Amino acid sequence: MSRLLDDRVFNKETLLDSTVNLVPFAILMFFLVLYVVATPSGWQDGSLMSIYMLTIIISMIWGLLHLTYATAKRI
């Protein structure tokens, strides 16, 4: 954490520019929680569709976080 602040990756302007990605992140987290909690067929059964769905949602979250960091580093 201190390394990020020392390098000035996340200064005031960069944080303001990166807050735009909070809305898609919140939406993806909502769908992840909704899928895990309220899946009628159950995600614990290990079916291929459940694995695909969780993989897609988690990869989108990871991609958004990675791109947000890379963009903040370039700004």
pLDDT tens for 14-71 read 778 788 888 999 999 998 888 888 876 665 666 787 788 889 999 999 999 999 888 8
In the structure encoding, which two tokens stand for residue 37, read together?
């909690």
pLDDT at residue 6 in the model: 47
Identify the CA nearest to 53 among candidates 36, 38, 72, 66.
Answer: 36
Give the C-alpha separation, 44 to 36, whole Å.
9
Q: How confident is the model at residue 75 (pLDDT cuts 50, 70, 90)?
A: confident
In the structure encoding, which two tokens stand for residue 68, read together?
């947000």
User: What's the sign of the alpha-carbon dihedral 5, 75, 26, 43?
Assistant: negative
Instruction: Domain of residue 37: give its range.
Output: 2-74
Q: How many domains does the chain have?
A: 1
Q: pTM for this one?
A: 0.70
pLDDT at residue 30 in the model: 93
